[in-house]
Amino acid sequence: MTVPLRLSVRHTSSADEAGLPFQIALAVPSDLGLVEQVVDLVARHSLAAGLPPRRVRFHLRTALAEALANAMRYGNRLDQARKVSVRVEFAVEAIHLHVADEGDGFDPARVPDPTAPDRIGADGGRGLFLIRSLVDGLEFNQKGNALCMTLRRT
Amino acid sequence: MTVPLRLSVRHTSSADEAGLPFQIALAVPSDLGLVEQVVDLVARHSLAAGLPPRRVRFHLRTALAEALANAMRYGNRLDQARKVSVRVEFAVEAIHLHVADEGDGFDPARVPDPTAPDRIGADGGRGLFLIRSLVDGLEFNQKGNALCMTLRRT
Amino acid sequence: MSFSVRRDAKGVMVIGVDGQLIVGNRHELKSQVTEALERGERKFLVDFTKTGYIDSSGLGVLVSLSKRIRESGGELRLAGLNDDLKTLFELTKLDTLFAVSDTAEEALAAF
Amino acid sequence: MSFSVRRDAKGVMVIGVDGQLIVGNRHELKSQVTEALERGERKFLVDFTKTGYIDSSGLGVLVSLSKRIRESGGELRLAGLNDDLKTLFELTKLDTLFAVSDTAEEALAAF
Ligand SMILES: Nc1ncnc2c1ncn2[C@@H]1O[C@H](COP(=O)(O)OP(=O)(O)O)[C@@H](O)[C@H]1O
Ligand SMILES: Nc1ncnc2c1ncn2[C@@H]1O[C@H](COP(=O)(O)OP(=O)(O)O)[C@@H](O)[C@H]1O
């Protein structure tokens, strides 16, 4: 006789599921071929942590892919020996995606708006703009080699 | 013009899914009512990380519940201000479950075998024995207030 | 998790463990059985058909209840153990201590 | 992820993006289209019906390919964008730059 695996159907415990903050961490070699895998991994665990599928499928995946690519390319200059550190904090109300590289950082305030009329047709320059558009909060460290993207759970 | 009617390009990344080690960490107040939630959380993410369901459903859940209960009861004496730190490393071949408390530790070698004839009917004393029976590797730190349980992925 | 309790036609208290039987809820099972004993009940069946996992505290509570029930002249049977739970009872040699039936029906017939 | 390429009866190269179009695989799309241009193909349809997500590198490659195709006197159409991808094109105002159809059929009819 086998009992189907049913996890967390009902709780009578002292705090509910979302009330247990935890974090996921990984260190990723600077290989652009790994971006998709890291995004998949974080997306899968975000779904397991109860984030709404659309937030994960669109906002989280796109913003995280951008942040990883920038950290690998501009921060770590695709040097595979340099790692991108990814830490995802699952808090009660939101998740915080921390992405840090081993580079010199930059000043995000100096990145121009890619939707300005003379830039719409440019080949690049949309990464940071997309991150800003898709997340609910974005913070950089002083140096500019680490960012934290906040996505509300709802 | 000879053009192949249908051509597919499969992308192969430089490492496969299980090849991206990561870890999950949380700090749990010493409340026995939280054991089930923590076990559910770790189980859910272990399934998301591709561990075989039976390993998760039985071996992981039982062993982790034991280790958490011991850390809360004997290590932290159910003082909710003291935390049990849980860290799960998802490596390529195995997962490592680290459980540490803020207590004084103990000497696991001095815990008697609960299956000895005079002990089978005892009310307690089976926790450590079950952990040992269910995991593929068990290590304690010197002090005895932190353990690491290894479960192979297969 | 939760427990379901019903009294069958033969006067057996049938307790179903839905979910886990672990350190966090074992006292609930203990008080269910203790109160029933005080009310005069003597036949108990714990049905694990809907049980996820049991930890050593859960096993401990079963051992201590079986003693109390025996001391009161009562009878305890277990049923519905899946393969994992059977392994658990075998590892701890508790399979030698309990009357275990495959199904609740078989257990009820044995009272 | 992978790309599927077929040539339809009207001579349109239909490229399906199965999975993601991101920094890790955008070069594959680029070389598919560049080689087709060199072979003399001029009509291109990129079908996103089976696409998961697109990052800014993926958008960048579409912009640069649209320029190349236009310079060669060719035509590029996009189709099959789901709501998320539509939002992406709207946010970046790239919806004003591309000829976008709801379905591949509509796009093919428009060539
Ligand atoms: N992690 C980083 N380290 C250093 N510079 C960065 C980093 N992320 C972004 N940048 C800088 O910001 C610029 C804009 O980035 P982005 O908006 O993502 O567009 P794109 O990647 O297409 O240039 C980059 O060209 C780069 O100079
Ligand atoms: N984290 C811990 N800190 C201190 N002592 C511990 C810890 N874990 C186990 N012990 C000791 O080991 C003994 C055996 O534990 P265990 O085998 O789990 O059975 P039980 O919990 O039923 O006593 C406990 O009674 C306790 O004295």
Tokens of B67: 């280790």
Nearest to D101 by CA among D45, D32, D56, D43: D45
Residue B93 has pLDDT above 80, yes or no: yes
Report ipTM (2 d.p.): 0.88
Residue A91 has pLDDT above 80, yes or no: yes
Instruction: Kindly give the number of the ligand 2 atom that is closest to the alpha carbon of B75.
Output: 3
CA A83/CA A102 separation, integer angstroms = 7
Nearest-by-CA chain D residue for B1 = D39
Residues with CB under 6 A from ligand 2: B 66, 70-71, 74-75, 101, 103, 105-106, 111, 124-129, 145; C 56
Alpha-carbon Rg for chain A in angstroms: 18
What integer pLDDT is reported at residue B4 of this predicted model?
38
Per-residue pLDDT tens over the stretch B127-147: 999 999 999 999 999 999 999
Q: Name which residue sits closest to atom 9 of ligand 1, judged by CA.
A: A70
| Helices of type H across D2-103 | 26-39, 56-71, 83-91
Residues B55-88: b if buried by 16+ CB within 10 A, e if exposed: bbbbbbbbbbbbbbbbbbbbbbeeeeebbbebbb
Per-residue pLDDT tens over the stretch D75-94: 999 999 999 999 999 999 99
In chain C, pLDDT over 70 holds for what percent of residues?
99
C84 and C53 Cβ atoms separated by less than 8 Å:
yes
